[in-house]
Amino acid sequence: MTNQVVIVGAGHAAGQAAASLRQEGYDGKIVMIGDEPYLPYQRPPLSKKFLAGELSIERVYFKPPAFYEKADVEQKLNTTVTEIERAQRTVHTSTGESIPYSKLILATGSRVRELNVPGFDLDGVNYLRTIDDVSKIQSKFKEGNKLVVVGGGYIGLEVAAVAVKRGIDVTVLEMAPMVMARVVDPIVSSFYERIHAEEGVKIVKGAAVSSFEGQDGKLTRVNCSDNTNFDADFVVVGVGILPNVELAQAAGLDVENGIIVNEFCQTSDPDILAIGDCTNHPNPLLGERLRLESVQNALEQGKTAAATICGRELVYAQIPWFWSDQYDLKLQIVGLSAGYDEAVVRGNPDDGRSFAVFYLKEGKMIAVDAVNRPPEFMMGKLMVAGGAKLPAETLRDESINMKEMAQMAKDAS
Amino acid sequence: MAKITFVEFNGTEHEVEAEEGTTLMEAAINNMVPGIDADCGGACACATCMIYVPAEMAAKIPEAEDMETTMIDFAENADATSRLSCQITVTPELDGAKVKLPESQH
């Protein structure tokens, strides 16, 4: 029988799985198949330092090219896996190859959600997911150019922050009544609206894009359903991503809002594992199933899948964390705030650029948003993991430092 | 290029060639030094690339900025010599430097 792990996908999760397989002592063959022309690279910098031109492509690679040689990982780039033939334990590719596997790892990631409105295919309508997307956007980075960002989430706001610093006229159109609506409390949302306004970005809320208008195939204007419109030299759409589950689905694996895996990253076929953005996985600490779009999730599931293949039990169980860089602001988030019933603010979000919000559910801390507040973030990790229960007035009290706070939470539990 | 030695918690040494202008974290990652996780890829967001810097080397590098200092202050296994390797840029003066790694980054 072939002793060969095939990894479908060549993103963060795929790169980590390959590295971890070798660290775990796997001595069979590893084949990584990716549809982009690049070795695994980090996506977070794409909307931050890489977009700003502050990082070269070599520095966004997940591992240097020499790594794959040393670790003996065969790369098949520019190649799409078209079918998994489970009975034969073989994958078929767009290049006509059939590659056998003993274990298969699906690291198919996600793709951008497209805005299917008239004019969607005009030159100048961009998305941001890949290195090539960034190149296209950067080619429009000319001082005085008008950029309309569609979607006031992390990607949209990070792009806005980079672009306005380059002297570009930036307008963000957000459909919801507040930015970052999916992930933060209105307190954090209003804070970011204030900062973007101070930096010169215009934010329009409740704006639903109805069409892109152009001349000679080139975008000139963005129209909204309330008949307002915005001149634009280019657009960046950031309205979320969709997990790439079609390959798994066609192979008859269980799929529901992601490829269903257990805490060892195994799908409904134990010889097929799935990791990263594309998975719907259990989180034993939170007691619920999640589909996460984050680096931590990609890295940790990559490690777990490698351990599983090597016969070692490494349960994937972590409190989720995320970050976003906009201007000089580092937003660090720990936990998932959905379902909170109280948001406790520490510091003053109406003035200055540093504060934190603790999200409580029935008195228990479930998440923290920390803006330029590493102590709140670092201790928040411990407190959320420990299910801290501290009174709001204690959390708010800045005369108590965060180390004391974490200790108080520990003592109280 | 500067030669940097990373010493794992168990004493294993890894001497690597670090390119000027990149960071010590990148030098470690690019040379597959175990014990540096660098989950956030160098954004000073996670404190999983901590190293211990000896005094003679500390004198040759700029002091940590506020964000880094605070992250370290709250990181596990940190002491007064701790730095985040993603925030240290490689310069010719660092040639021959030897830094130690913590038992774990988490």
Say yes or no to pLDDT of A310 above 60. yes
Q: Verify that A223 and A279 share a domain, yes or no.
A: no
Q: What is the mean pLDDT of residues B78-106?
A: 94
Tell me what pLDDT residue A144 has.
94
Mean pLDDT over A81-100 rounds to 98
pLDDT at A28 over 90: yes
pLDDT classification of A322: cutoffs 50, 70, 90 = very high
**CATH, residue B44:** 3.10.20.30
B8: Cβ contacts below 8 Å, ≥ 6 apart? B14, B33, B34, B35, B101
What pLDDT does A125 receive? 98
- Point out the residue among A60, A70, A375 whose CB comes nearest to the CB of B70: A375
Residue A208 and residue A143 in one domain? yes
Residue A400: pLDDT over 70? yes
In a domain, A319, yes or no: no
Cα angle for residues A92, A80, A64 (degrees, 5° grid): 120
Taking contacts as CB-CB distances below 8 angstroms, the residues of chain B near A45 are 41, 43
- For chains A and B, CB pairs below 8 A equal 52
pLDDT of residue A1: 55
Report the pLDDT averaged over residues B81-102. 96
Query: What integer is the mean pLDDT of A276-295?
Result: 96
A129 with A230, same domain: the answer is yes
Considering its fold, how many domains does chain A have in total?
3
Instruction: Indicate the pLDDT class of residue A328, thresholds 50, 70 and 90.
Output: very high
Q: State chain A's mean pLDDT as an integer.
A: 96
User: In chain A, positions 19-58, which contact chain B (CB-CB < 8 Å)?
Assistant: 19, 23, 42, 44-45, 48
ipTM of the complex in this document: 0.85
Provide the pLDDT confidence category of residue A2 given band limits of 50, 70 and 90. Answer: confident
**Residue A377 belongs to a domain with what CATH number?**
3.30.390.30
Interface touch A64/B30, C-beta < 8 Å: yes
Is the model's pLDDT at A285 over the cut of 90?
yes
Say if A158 falls within a structural domain. Answer: yes
Average pLDDT over residues A186-200: 97
CB atoms B74 and A375 under 8 Å: yes
Residue B1 sits at the chain A interface (C-beta within 8 Å):
no
Q: Which of A19, A42, A332 comes nearest B45 by C-beta?
A: A332
Q: Is B105 contained in some domain?
A: no
Is a pLDDT exceeding 60 seen at residue A336?
A: yes
Residue range A356-362: mean pLDDT, rounded: 97
Mean pLDDT for A293-307 is: 97
Residue A87: Cβ within 10 Å count: 5
Cβ neighbours of residue A225 closer than 8 Å, sequence gap 6 or more: A208, A209, A210
Interface test with A, best of B23, B37, B70 (most A CBs within 10 A): B70
- A159, A220: one domain: yes
Instruction: Say which residue, A182 or A26, is predicted with more confidence.
Output: A26
Give me the pLDDT at residue A278, please. 98
Residue A318 domain-assigned? no
pLDDT of residue B74 exceeding 90, the answer is no
What number is the average pLDDT over the span A49-53?
95
For residue A138, is it within any domain? yes
Domain contains B41: yes
Give a yes or no: residue A93 inside a domain. yes
Tell me if B8 is assigned to some domain: yes
Cα of B63 vs its chain's centroid, Å: 13
Asked whether residue A116 is domain-assigned, the answer is no
Cα distances from A253 to residues A94, A267, A307, in angstroms, run 21, 7, 21
Domain range for B37 = 2-100
Asked if residue A194 and residue A220 are part of one domain, the reply reads yes
Residue A352 lies in domain: 328-412
Q: Are A204 and A267 part of one and the same domain?
A: no
Any domain includes B62? yes
Task: Note whether A130 and A233 are same-domain residues.
Answer: yes
Q: Measured between CA atoms, how close is A153 to chain B, in angstroms? A: 19
Nearest CA-CA distance, residue A71 and chain B, Å: 10
Whether residues A334 and A290 share a domain: the answer is no
Residue A117 lies in a domain: no
| Backbone dihedral angles phi then psi of residue A150, each to the nearest 5 degrees | -100, 110
Residue B32 in any domain: the answer is yes
- A59 inside 8 A of chain B by CB: yes
Residue to mutate among A56, A68, A296, A323, with most B CBs inside 10 A, is A323
Q: Residue B71 domain-assigned?
A: yes
Q: Is residue B106 part of a domain?
A: no
* A133-188 per-position pLDDT tens digit: 999 999 999 999 999 999 999 999 999 999 999 999 999 999 999 999 988 999 99
Residue B6 lies in a domain: yes
- pLDDT tens for each residue of B28-61: 988 888 889 888 988 888 889 999 999 999 999 9
Residue pair A99/A90 in contact by the 8 Å Cβ criterion: yes
Contact (CB<8Å) A67/B32: yes
- Give me Rg for the CA atoms of chain A: 23
Tell which of A237, A269, A292 closes a domain.
A237
Q: Phi and psi at residue B50, in whole multiples of 5°?
A: -70, 140
Residue A147 included in any domain: yes
| Average pLDDT value for residue range A101-128 | 97
Closest chain B residue to A19 measured between Cα atoms?
B32
What's the total number of domains in chain B? Answer: 1
**Which of 54-83 (B) contact A at CB < 8 A?**
67, 70-71, 73-75
